[in-house]
Amino acid sequence: MKREGKVYTIIFTFIISFVFVFVLAVANELTKDTVERNQELFQIKAILSAMDISYQSDEEAFQKYNSIVSTVNINGSQLYTAEVNGQKIYATIFTGSGLWGTITGVLAVNEDVSRIVGIDFISQNETPGLGGRIEEDWFKRQFSGLKIIDGEIRVVTGQGSGDYDYENGQVDAITGATRTSESIERIVNETIANLKDILGGE
Amino acid sequence: MAQKSWIEIAKDNLWYNNPVFIQILGICSTLAVTNTLINTSIMTLGVVFVTGLSAMTVSLLKSFIPRKVRMIAQTLIISFYVIIVDIVLRAYVPEVSRALGPYVGLIITNCIIMGRTEAFAQSNPPLLSLWDGLTTGIGYMYVLLMVAFVRELLGFGTVFGFQVLPDNFVNWTIMVMPPSAFFMLAIFIWIIKGYMFRKEVKK
């Protein structure tokens, strides 16, 4: 068969695509369970850290999640709940659009939705090193215990090193990531409003 | 065309014909990922792996590939390896995979890889192509790491995430943003080209 002929070209393209895609499919199938477990573990860890429950290892995270956290169904919405230091905490998984893609995370609040307990992110596609820094500890720590004023929080221009005054309802934005910071403000406030609806806060 | 020796290939790819500062290829990723060293090293390791293996695969298959579809075949092979890298990262180092986000997938668009498979692997034996791909990747890697080192140091005051500059150092936020990569790369090319020309003049 001629190498430059039409028939050979078509057969060759078909075979090479088939072989490579087949190998990929196999590789994907082999790692599927690990990837799924990683994702599940990641969600569990995010819920735990938003609720301010500490854990040392993956095993402990699983264990604590199973023993402390329970899921409840209030007014048709699924929430995660736990009792930490005698306080009832509710957490919900939120999604919203960031600058480049969807930001998914966990927001935990106290029973009457007057304070945020914590926040953590499950997935985001913001610019690494800029908007992607929402996943860094200093940024997330600003939310733990933050008072919600008039049903919202504000992300403001600050020193860029973190606003740890938890009474003013404000957090510092990330320098150079204005749009991502704005998105976070919007998403968090939407989530707070949503939680208030569900939990019937004042 | 006389075949080049292994050492000549390495020298060429690392210095005399470096993909980044001589051929000015792969600039997009230089601008995008070089603000932290960790992201840069993982991304460039991925590129080294992909350039090496896809060059070898193209070279192995070159006598079967019809000329008409050779570009498509090369792209297919390259994306195959990129997806493998992505799968491995997702399964075994999920944290890194999350930090890099879409950049791993974007290795496919790195012109260096396509350039090497088209310019070298199409007309050279497999092992030599593998070597060519690997050294090209390393040539790309060290330039990016140097740019990332300066950017992370001045932008965050850290090296590989460890604080090295004193706390009262004011971070240069511009260094974290893409424009600074233009400056850094230009300064870098200026220094190296200047050095090369001076050497040539002396001869």
Q: Which of residues 168-187 of B touch A (CB under 8 A)?
A: 173, 176-177
Angle ∠(A142,A109,A149) on CA atoms, nearest 5: 65
Q: Does B69 touch chain A (CB under 8 A)?
A: yes
Domain ranges for chain A: 70-199
Nearest-by-CA chain B residue for A12: B65
What is the rounded radius of gyration, in angstroms, for the C-alpha atoms of chain A?
22
pTM score, whole prediction: 0.77
Mean local confidence (pLDDT), A104-113: 88
The answer to whether the CB of B172 falls within 8 A of the CB of B155 is: yes
Q: For B3, which DSSP code?
A: P
At A202, the pLDDT band (50, 70, 90 cuts) reads very low
Q: How far apart, in whole angstroms, are the C-alpha atoms of residue B178 and residue B32?
A: 6
Residue of B37, B83, B152 to mutate for A, most A C-beta atoms under 10 A: B83
Q: Phi then psi for B20, rounded to 5 degrees?
A: -85, -55
Domain count within chain B: 1
Element (H, E) at B158: strand B158-159
ipTM tops 0.85? no
Count Cβ–Cβ pairs < 8 Å, chain A vs chain B. Answer: 76
Of B68, B99, B177, the CB nearest to A130: B177
Compute the average pLDDT of residues A130-154.
85
Sequence-separated (6 or more) residues with CB below 8 Å from residue B61: A16, B73, B77
Residues of chain B contacting residue A125, judged by C-beta atoms under 8 Å apart: 101-102
Q: Which one is predicted more confidently, B3 or B49?
A: B49
Please indicate if any CB of chain A lies within 8 Å of the CB of B106: no
- Say if residue B2's pLDDT is above 60: no
DSSP E strands, chain A:
70-74, 77-84, 87-97, 102-110, 116-123, 154-156, 170-172
Mean of the pLDDT values across residues B80-86? 91
> Is residue B101 a part of any domain in this protein?
yes
Q: Which residues are B82's β-sheet partners?
A: none
What average pLDDT score do residues A53-60 get? 82
- Are B173 and A160 an interchain contact pair (Cβ–Cβ within 8 Å)? yes
Question: A98-107 as b/e, with b when 16 or more CB fall inside 10 Å?
Answer: bbbeebbbbb
Residue B149 falls inside a structural domain: yes
Give which of B119, B163, B150, B159 is closest to B38, Cα–Cα: B159
**Higher-confidence position of B104 and B134:** B134
Instruction: Give the range of the structural domain holding residue B60, as residue numbers without chain letter.
Output: 21-201
Report residue A61's pLDDT band, with 50, 70 and 90 as the boundaries: confident
Angle between the N-to-C axes of helices B126-156 and B178-202, in degrees from 0 to 180, rounded to the nearest 10 = 120
Task: Please indicate, yes or no, if residue B45 is contained in any of the structural domains.
Answer: yes
Q: What's the rounded Cα separation, in Å, for the pair B110 and B28?
A: 8
